[in-house]
Chains A and B, each alone.
Chain A
Amino acid sequence: MTTATLTRASSSPWRLRWRRFYRNKAALSGLIVLGLLIVFSLLAAPLESFLEIDANNADLLSRFDPPSAQHWLGNDELGRDVLVRLMYGGQVSLAVGFAATLLGAMFGVTVGLLAGYFGGRTDAVLMRLTDGVIALPLLPLLIILAAIDLTKLGFSTDFARSGAASFYRIVLIIALVDWTRIARIVRASTLSVREREFILAARVSGAGTTRILVRNVLPNVIAPIIVACSQVLGSVILFEAVLSFLGFGIVPPTPSWGNMLNNAQELVTTAPALAIYPGLLIFITVVAVNFVGDGLQDAFDPRAN
C-alpha cells in the first residue's frame, strides 16, 4: 500500500514521511516481518511440491507424527503436514485481514467523507451511528451474524458450504464493524480539508459535490486513511482468528490460523506444539502490523507523539 503511493511521490511530504518511518526501528522491523510472513505464506505451494506432500490429504496412520525430513514440523491430528498448512493458513488469514480492512475502509471513508463534508444533521446522524456501532459488544453480534444461512438468501447449497463462501462471509461481517475507526478519522480530516479555500475554488469552477469529494477531498485525506487502515488491520486479523477458532469463520478443511486451533483444547494435552504454532504466528503478525501502524502514525503526524 505504501510503496505504491511512494513511487508517485515527486511531492516531498511523502518522501519526508518515508524517511521518518525508515528511521523508526520498530516500525521498519514490523514492515520487514510482515513482508517475510507474506513471503512465507506464498511459498506454501512450492514447498508442498518440493517436499512431495499433499497438505490437504488426511492420513490417519501418520497422526501426530513428529518432525521429519519430509514433515518439518510434523503432522497434525489428521496426519496432515503442519508447516504447509500453516503457510496456506497464513494466505487465508492475511487475505481476510487485508480484504476486510479494505472493504471496511471503503465504507468508513464514504461515511467519514459525507459526515465531514456536509456537517450539520448528516454529520450528527452518521456519527451517532458510528458511535453506536463502536459501543456494541461486537464479538457476540458477529457470531449471530455469521450464523445466517446463506441458502436462505438464495445461494446454492454447494456455494453456502464452500470455503469461498466462508471467506466472503467473514470478510463482509468483519467489514460491517471495522469501518468505524476509519470513518471517525476520515471525518476529522475532512472537516479540516473542507475549510480550505481550494474546496471553495473548485465549487466556483462549477465542480459538483461528488467531484469535489473524489477529486479534491479524498486525495487530501489519503494519509490519515492509510494510517487508520494500518491500525485497524491488527484487530481485523484478531477478529478473523477468533471467529474461525469459534467455528464461525473460515470452515475446514481450508486452513486459517484461527481454525487450525479448533481442536486445540484437546491438543493442549496431547500435542501442545500444534496449539502453539498458529497462535504464535497470529501474535507475531499482529505485533508487526501494530508496529507498522504506530510507525505510520508517527511518520504522518509527528506532532501527535
Chain B
Amino acid sequence: MPALLSVDGLNVSFPLDSHSLLPGRRRVVHAVQDVRFEIAVGETLALVGESGCGKTTVGRAIAGLGKVPKGIVRLRGEYLSDLPRAQRRAARQAIQMVFQDPFSSLDPRMTVRQILQEPLDINGIGTAQERNARVADLLGQVGLPADALERYPHEFSGGQRQRIAIARALAPNPALIVADEPLSALDVSIQSQTLNLLQKLKRERGLSYLFISHDLASVYHLADRVAVMYLGRLVELADRDTLFASPRHPYTQGLLAAVPRIGQGRRRRTLIEGDLPSPLALPSGCAFHPRCPLAKDICRQKRPEMKPLASSPAQSVACHFAEESAA
C-alpha cells in the first residue's frame, strides 16, 4: 500500500512560564518525541496509550493544530512544512479531525447548516448551490434527518452531535481523519453505532483514520495496525492481530492484560503498577523502567530504539528485551 501520510521524527514541546515577559530562561515540556509512523490509503492506524502519553498531541500536530511541529510530516509524499502557506492550507484539507467531546466541539452559536458549511466557505469549495447540496448530502451520509440543518447543537443528543462532527470532518472531502477518542464521551449503546458509522465511511469512501483511543475493544474492532505510546514516544507498532496475539513490549502486555477478552479465559494479569511519571521529569534510559516488571540495569541507563523484530519485521518494538519477551 502506498503511504498516504508519513511521519518521521515528530517532536512537540510546550513552553512553560509562557507569561514571563523576561526573555530567555524558558523551560519546555517535551510532550512528543521522535514519533515515526505511516498510514496507507484506506488504512486505520490506532494510537493507544494512557491519558497524558501524548497521543492527542500527535493527532493535533498532524491535523495542523498547535505550533508547526519539528519533524517531517509528508502527505502523499509531499513535505507539509515545505509547502508555501496557501498550498499547505489546501493540503491540510485532506486531513480532518473528529474530537472527543461533541458537546464542546460544535459551536453552540451556529446552526448545523452553518457548522457543516463553515469548512466549505473557508476553503471556497463549490458554488452556493453546490454547497447547499453538499451539506444536505453530508447529513444523509451520517444518518441524520434533513430537518436537522436549521437546528442548534444543543437540540441534539451526544451521539447525534458526534455524527454532526463527523459530517463536518467529511465536508472538505478528506483522505485522512484524525479521530481523537471519538467514542469516549458517548454512552456505551451509542459507541457501537458510531463505530459502525466510522467503519461504513471508511469502506464507502476509502478513508484512512488515525484512531486515537485507550479503549482496546474499539481499537480491535476498527484498526488495521496499532501503535502504542508511552510518555511521548512510540514503544510498539504492529498489525492489529500480531499485536493483540503477541505483544512484545512489557507496557503493551500490561495494557492488553488489563482487558478481559472472550475466549481467552483469565490470562496472567500483569497489570501495570505505579503512576505515570511527570513529563517534566522523565526517567532516564527507558522511560518505562520504573514500572516495568522486567527492568534491568541497562533499562535505567540506555534508551531502547524502535526496531523491527528479527523474527517478525512488521512488528517494531522499543525494548532491550523485545526478542525474548514474547508473552
- Interface, chain A (partner B; CB < 8 A): 10-12, 119-121, 123-125, 196-198, 200-207, 211, 215-216, 219-220
Q: Which residue of B lies closest to A208 (CB)?
A: B122
Secondary structure of the A contact surface, majority rule: helix
Of B19, B100, B122, B154, which one neighbours A197 at CB under 8 angstroms?
A: B100
Contact mask B134-152 → A, CB, 8 Å, 1/0?
Answer: 0000000000000000001
Q: Give the docked Cα–Cα distance between A220 and B95 (Å).
A: 27
Q: Are B108 and A220 in contact (CB under 8 A)?
A: yes
CB contacts (< 8 Å) of A196 on chain B: these are: 104-105
Q: Give the docked Cα–Cα distance between A198 and B105 (Å).
A: 4
Of A123, A200, A207, A220, which one neighbours B19 at CB under 8 angstroms?
A: A123
Q: Which residue of B lies closest to A11 (CB)?
A: B152
Q: Are B19 and A201 in contact (CB under 8 A)?
A: no
- Interface, chain B (partner A; CB < 8 A): 18-21, 60, 63-65, 89, 92-93, 95-97, 99-101, 104-110, 118-119, 122-123, 152, 154, 165, 168-169, 171-172
What is the count of residue pairs linking A and B with beta-carbon distances less than 8 angstroms?
81
CB contacts (< 8 Å) of A121 on chain B: these are: 18-21
Closest Cβ of chain B to A44, distance in Å, is 39
Q: Which residue of B lies closest to A216 (CB)?
A: B107
Q: Are A205 and B119 in contact (CB under 8 A)?
A: yes
Q: Which residue of B lies closest to A220 (CB)?
A: B109
Q: Give the docked Cα–Cα distance between A203 and B122 (Å).
A: 10
Q: Are B65 and A204 in contact (CB under 8 A)?
A: yes
- Which of A121, A123, A197 has its CB near the most chain B CB atoms (within 10 A)? A197
Q: Are B18 and A125 in contact (CB under 8 A)?
A: no
A-B contact pairs, 21 of them (CB 8 A): A10-B152, A11-B108, A11-B109, A119-B19, A120-B19, A124-B20, A124-B21, A197-B99, A198-B105, A200-B60, A200-B99, A200-B105, A204-B169, A205-B118, A205-B122, A205-B172, A206-B92, A206-B172, A207-B118, A211-B122, A220-B109
With A201-B99, A206-B122 given, name 6 new contacts (CB 8 A): A124-B20, A197-B99, A198-B106, A203-B64, A219-B109, A220-B109
